[in-house]
Structure 1
Amino acid sequence: MRIKWFAFLAFVLISPKLAVAADTPKVLFLGIDGCRFDALRKANTPNLDRLIDRGIYADNTRIFHARYTTADTISGPGWSSILTGVWADKHGVLDNQFKVSHYDKFPHLFVRAKEQLPETKTASLVCWAPIDQYIVASADKRYSFTEKDYGERDDAATDEAVKQLSDASIDVVFLYLGATDEAGHASGFHPANPKYVETIQAADARIGRVLAAIESRASYQDEDWLVVVTSDHGGKGTSHSNGHEVPEIFNSFLIVSGDSAERGKFETDTYIVDASATVLKHLGIDAPEDWQLDGQPVGLKK
């Protein structure tokens, strides 16, 4: 009997798969509206740089698929695609009016997570009201910040994210930051625009606060945190509408970071719909065929 016990103990100590399996999967899902990756690289972003170094990234993540280009290259279709994992011909949102949507059939990723794992605890913190009003569903905690200034909104959302992460039961946090898009519309989406770059740096500082909150959790050592970062579009001049032929607009980015993420740069195509599929996979959910997801899990270790 003692021989069997020592054999089992040795297996536990040398088996990396068993060690990883003991960690509880958690997700921080970050959205930075209207953020161009070339401007992110120009900015001083130590926290996002650390996420890239501890993960895998793409600098040309497409915001729409050639299958369907009717939807405008703006936030309504963009965040709908990101948060449902399907393109606009399925979720139905073509602009920022949300006159038509099919979220009943193609819902927010929190709905999907709870279908498979009902005990999943989620929180949504957004600074653009339509995301909360139309897209988000099944969040255990749900906050929409509407202060006049987007910087103030982002600060308030970050404060609440830090607060929510003190709850040991939380599994998935979605945090949306909007000041970068506001700056692009005001003075230009371009890495040579100091005001635009400054808002990316401010977003990075807020992300640093949230990462620190994660790392200060008493249960952190027993958790497997995946951080996913993306944007709904880029921009050119002071706009990003009608950008189907404009690379500065239709290229977004995707960062997948953490112990369970691969390292380096994506060598295959990525799409914004891949973000939610990746979140679900990290939580241990294999999407059933009847969900009809267009996104695929990407950047995760096999």
Structure 2
Amino acid sequence: MKNILLLAVLFITTITFSQKKKVLLVGIDGLQFEELAKVKTPNFDKFNIKKGFNGGLFGTDSQQVTLSGPSWVTILTGVWTDHHKITSNSQNQVSASKSVFNYLKTSNSKLKTASISTWKNINLLLYKDMYLVDFATQGGLDDNSTKIAVDLIEKKGLDFVFVHLDDVDHAGHGYGFGEKYSNAILKMDENIGQLLKATEYRNQNFNEDWFIILVTDHGRDSKGFGHGNQTISEKTIFVGLNRKGNSFFENVNNNTKINTIQELEKQTIPQTAVVPTILKFLEIPIKKEWKLDSQPLIN
């Protein structure tokens, strides 16, 4: 009996370790962390979500405006503006730093990637690396971007998919916090639900292990309309994982009152942590010369 149990454990362990590792990064534009708690979000609730910060380190060369252009480039390169040099939303810039797409493809040419960006400037700002991406779209609506991502995940067996969704940010700019902003969050939750179903389908039918990361690029001002400045509200973001993180991640207490920007930067997750987390999960060795500005969020 002991031998049979041992063989069963070894069999299950072998199945687990042979799963193909995949990553889905869902970028949600302009979603204020505190607003999530105000609406019922069953799909967001499936994630382990921790408070984070954007905008670089206040008062240093890494400080950057809390706008979408610099923030998304930071998320996808793992470095602040003093390295990637993106300083605004203008599409007449190109990142000076390599992105996760570059790190994945040059480390393992067999890895298949996609960048689906509802806001087209993200792909334009990373123009130098887009030739390495196997599938890319830019522009359109969130529902269309979600459908494209679902189809790619279910049918193409990609290894890394980035999908950017924009409607929450539009609601903020148009109406500030309130009913329409909350409704946009509810719709976003539905889109995330579709993406979850697609990854669950792959997990169950193709022996894959999909690691899903949620991240937002920036917070908003006190009324929810704008962003760009170095305030606690505008610098507050979140990072969500569909599994337990390491101590760096888990030790963040979302309920701790933040009184200063310095406290925010010391006690929450920097958005520069996304790239090293993706690389860690996909077993891509992180090189010193990449000069990434954070450590991974998983062991």
Length-normalised TM-score, structure 2: 0.84
Change (3 A) 1:63 1:286: farther
Could you tell me which residue of structure 2 aligns to residue 178 of structure 1?
A: 166
Q: How does 1:222-233 map to 2 (within 5 A)?
A: 222-233=207-218
- What is the SS of the residue equivalent to 1:216? helix
After superposition, what is the alpha-carbon deviation per residue over 1:101-140, rounded to whole angstroms, capped at 9, x for unaligned? Answer: 443xx22211110111111111111111111222262210
Could you tell me which residue of structure 1 aligns to residue 111 of structure 2?
A: 120
Could you tell me which residue of structure 1 aligns to residue 89 of structure 2?
A: 96
Choose from 233, 237, 240 the match for 1:248.
Answer: 233
Gaps of 5+ in 2: 253-266
Choose from 199, 211, 220 the match for 1:214.
Answer: 199
Could you tell me which residue of structure 1 aligns to residue 79 of structure 2?
A: 86
CA distance in 1, matches of 2:67, 2:151: 30
CA distance in 1, matches of 2:203, 2:15: 19
Whether the aligned pair in 2 keeps the contact of 1:61 and 1:271 (CA below 8 Å) is yes
Give 1:143's aligned amino acid: T
- What is the SS of the residue equivalent to 2:155? coil
Could you tell me which residue of structure 1 aligns to residue 288 of structure 2?
A: 289
Choose from 138, 146, 169 the match for 1:158.
Answer: 146
CA distance in 2, matches of 1:115, 1:12: 38
Change (3 A) 1:100 1:130: closer
Give 2:169's aligned amino acid: D
Deviation, 1:77, is 0.4
Give 2:182's aligned amino acid: V
CA distance in 2, matches of 1:256, 1:211: 12
Gaps of 5+ in 1: 1-5, 147-152
For the aligned residue pairs, the C-alpha RMSD in angstroms reads 2.5
After superposition, what is the alpha-carbon deviation per residue over 1:48-72, rounded to whole angstroms, capped at 9, x for unaligned? Answer: 10123xxxx3123344223335532
CA distance in 2, matches of 1:255, 1:62: 15
CA distance in 1, matches of 2:179, 2:106: 45
Length-normalised TM-score, structure 1: 0.84
- What is the SS of the residue equivalent to 2:211? strand
CA distance in 1, matches of 2:110, 2:118: 26
Could you tell me which residue of structure 2 aligns to residue 150 of structure 1?
A: none
Give 2:226's aligned amino acid: S
Whether the aligned pair in 2 keeps the contact of 1:70 and 1:94 (CA below 8 Å) is no
Whether the aligned pair in 1 keeps the contact of 2:220 and 2:226 (CA below 8 Å) is yes
Give 1:297's aligned amino acid: P
Give 2:212's aligned amino acid: V
CA distance in 2, matches of 1:8, 1:130: 57
CA distance in 2, matches of 1:71, 1:269: 17
Query: Are positions 1:273 and 2:260 aligned together?
Result: no
Could you tell me which residue of structure 1 aligns to residue 65 of structure 2?
A: 72
- What is the SS of the residue equivalent to 2:66? coil
Deviation, 1:11, is 6.4
Deviation, 1:208, is 0.3
- What is the SS of the residue equivalent to 1:217? helix
After superposition, what is the alpha-carbon deviation per residue over 1:196-228, rounded to whole angstroms, capped at 9, x for unaligned? Answer: 111111111011011111212375462111110
Query: Are positions 1:51 and 2:47 aligned together?
Result: yes
CA distance in 1, matches of 2:19, 2:55: 33
Whether the aligned pair in 2 keeps the contact of 1:113 and 1:280 (CA below 8 Å) is yes
Could you tell me which residue of structure 1 aligns to residue 264 of structure 2?
A: none
Change (3 A) 1:196 1:218: closer
Q: How does 1:167-206 map to 2 (within 5 A)?
A: 167-188=155-176, 190=177, 193-206=178-191
Choose from 21, 44, 53 the match for 2:17.
Answer: 21
Give 1:202's aligned amino acid: K
How many correspondences in the alignment?
A: 277
- What is the SS of the residue equivalent to 1:255? strand
Give 1:37's aligned amino acid: F
**Structure 1, 221-230 or 78-87: larger mean CA deviation:** 221-230
